[in-house]
């Protein structure tokens, strides 16, 4: 895409040489979304707008100070530090993230997003940074739902546009059970609330957020795991942004190698 394209990169490098700046990303916070004139040695922008959906603890949630926090947020800030760009986090609906990348609203997305074949048609993904799976949440006294197949004929709430949604969506290639009445919510927490209120029989959601939701609702709901549906989280980057993707992958590899990734996982309870 144009903004991180070769010509711009060359121009930016030239400007950096002329103005004698390089390395640090600090100071230049005025420009957004690729309009920067300065950045780092590689010609990356000095600031990158990163979309997320802060409804997915422990990966992203709104902290007490009103700002997005979580494993993903800490991770992308560290990536930015290493790659030499400042990170601005933009919170939006999960199912709007990929579109926002196509319309230039954001420069990349980190949102516990599974790198699916379908999404790969629209965006590129970084190397994976987390192994995940899908589970069910049911009321604690429910003993009839043990496998995904048991969801047939049941009401199931999901977060709209997630892989959990697609697993119970008839006609989708990743559908594992048909005949489910699906309620699509804007937030995972709303799906869980509906379960608590008896509006649905189950919620299908990623395992780690499921654990957090169960913990927050002391004893009233429980997790049911079927044979693991394995997924990998990766950072979504617009197609063709090779330089940006390479820089992100380099930082991720470093963070995996030097223990930073494990440290963050421990800090945020993302295990
Ligand atoms: N891993 C699932 C997916 O990619 C769910 C991600 C939801 N993330 C969020 N921040 N709400 O569809």
**Per-residue pLDDT reduced to its tens digit, 60-92:** 999 999 999 999 999 999 999 999 999 999 999
Task: Give the position, in ligand 1's atom list, of the atom nearest the Cα of 166.
Answer: 12
- The CB density around residue 221, as the number of other CB atoms within 10 Å, is 22
- DSSP assignment string, 147-204: SGGGGTTSEEEEETTSHHHHHTSTTSTT----S-EEEEESSHHHHHHHHHTTS-SEEE
Global confidence as pTM: 0.85
pLDDT of residue 35: 44
Atom from ligand 1 closest to the CA of residue 119: 4
Residues with a CB atom less than 6 Å from ligand 1: 53, 55-56, 60, 94, 111-114, 132, 159, 162-163, 206, 231
Q: Best mutation site among 97, 128, 206, 233 for ligand 1, i.e. most ligand atoms within 8 A of its Cβ?
A: 206
Which residue lies with its CA nearest to atom 5 of ligand 1?
A: 162
What is the Cα–Cα distance from 203 to 208, expressed in whole angstroms? Answer: 13
CA 76–ligand 1 middle distance (angstroms)? 16
Cα of 110 vs centre of ligand 1, distance in Å, is 9
Length in residues, the chain: 271
Among 245, 56, 67, 33, smallest CA distance to 161 is for 56
DSSP state of 39: B
- Of ligand 1's atoms, which has the minimum distance to the CA of residue 231? 1
Mutate to test the pocket of ligand 1, among 106, 113, 203 (most ligand atoms within 8 A of CB): 113
Query: How far is it, in rounded angstroms, from Cα 249 to Cα 218?
Result: 39
pLDDT at 102: 87
Place of tokens 């030239």: 14
Q: Determine the pLDDT at residue 227.
A: 83
Instruction: Give Rg (Cα) of the chain.
Output: 20
Provide φ and ψ at 50, rounded to 5°. -110, 120
Q: Which residue ranges in the chain fall short of pLDDT 70?
A: 1-42
Could you tell me the distance, in angstroms and rounded to a whole number, from the CA of residue 111 to the centre of ligand 1? Answer: 6
Q: Which ligand 1 atom sits closest to the C-alpha of 113?
A: 4
Nearest-atom index, ligand 1, CA of 162: 12
């Amino acid at each position: 895409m144009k903004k991180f394209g070769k010509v711009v990169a060359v121009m930016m490098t030239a400007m950096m040489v002329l103005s004698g700046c390089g390395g640090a990303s600090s100071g230049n916070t005025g420009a957004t979304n690729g309009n920067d004139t300065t950045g780092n040695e590689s010609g990356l922008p000095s600031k990158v707008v990163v979309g997320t959906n802060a409804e997915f603890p422990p990966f992203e949630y709104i902290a007490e100070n009103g700002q997005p926090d979580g494993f993903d947020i800490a991770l992308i800030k560290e990536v930015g530090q290493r790659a030499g760009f400042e990170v601005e986090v933009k919170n939006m609906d999960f199912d709007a993230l990929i579109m926002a990348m196509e319309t230039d609203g954001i420069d990349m997305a980190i949102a516990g997003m599974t790198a699916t074949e379908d999404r790969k048609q629209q965006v590129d993904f970084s190397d994976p940074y987390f192994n995940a799976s899908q589970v069910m949440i049911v009321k604690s006294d429910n003993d009839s739902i043990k496998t995904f197949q048991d969801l047939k004929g049941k009401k199931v709430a999901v977060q709209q546009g997630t892989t959990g949604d697609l697993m119970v969506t008839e006609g989708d290639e990743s559908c594992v059970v048909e005949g489910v009445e699906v309620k699509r919510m804007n937030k995972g927490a709303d799906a869980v609330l509906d379960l608590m209120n008896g509006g649905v029989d189950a919620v299908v959601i990623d395992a780690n957020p499921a654990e957090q939701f169960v913990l927050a609702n002391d004893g009233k709901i429980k997790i049911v795991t079927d044979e693991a549906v394995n997924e990998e989280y990766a950072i979504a980057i617009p197609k063709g942004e090779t330089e940006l993707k390479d820089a992100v992958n380099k930082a991720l590899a470093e963070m995996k190698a030097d223990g930073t990734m494990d440290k963050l996982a421990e800090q945020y309870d993302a295990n």
